[in-house]
Amino acid sequence: MSVDPVLIVPAALGVLALVALLAWRLPRRRRLRSLSRQLDSFDPDKRARAAAAMVELGLTRRTANVLTHSLTREEDLRLRFAIALAVVRNSERSRRRRVRQLRKWSVEELAEHGHPVHQGLEWKKSKITWRAPAPQS
């Protein structure tokens, strides 16, 4: 039985594409897993660095889920503020619901702290808008 070369080429290309995909995804997945473990640390500085590095990886559904899960347990207000600031500074538009929720939480957190970065913060396409409250006299 002879093997037709017309069938070997697509099969070889498919295997090569699969290997390239795995080589591209595995280091990112390992990095995300490592950062996720660091978010459970007792050291707030280590948690802050891990959260900032996770945001630098890019806000995807997976990173937003990990950050949101971490924020539900977080009691340190400085760390919550640092995460909110990192999310606002490094986020792009996304259609993912969890990413939009995380960005909305970040804007509200910055507004609550009265940080100057929140002024004029407006994302019309993602339906997140915030306006400064009227000054109280």
**Within-domain flag for 68:** yes
Residue 46 sits in which domain range?
A: 29-120
Q: Does residue 34 lie in a domain region?
A: yes
Tens digits of residue pLDDT in 31-46: 888 888 888 888 888 8
pLDDT value at residue 78: 85
15 domain residue, yes or no? no
What does the alpha-carbon distance between residue 106 and residue 77 come to, in Å, rounded to a whole number?
13
Residue type, 15: V
**Is 133 a domain residue?**
no
What's at 26, amino acid-wise? L
**Residue 136 belongs to some domain of the structure:** no
Residue 23 predicted with pLDDT over 60:
yes
Residue 95: pLDDT band with limits 50, 70, 90: confident
Q: How many structural domains comprise the chain?
A: 1
Is 95 among the domain residues?
A: yes
41: three-class secondary structure by DSSP: coil
Rounded (5°) CA angle 78-74-32: 100
Instruction: Work out the pLDDT band at 19, boundaries 50, 70, 90.
Output: confident
Give ∠ CA 57-87-134 in degrees, rounded to 5: 170
Domain annotation covers residue 135: no
- Is 3 among the domain residues? no
Q: What is the pTM (predicted TM-score) of this model?
A: 0.63
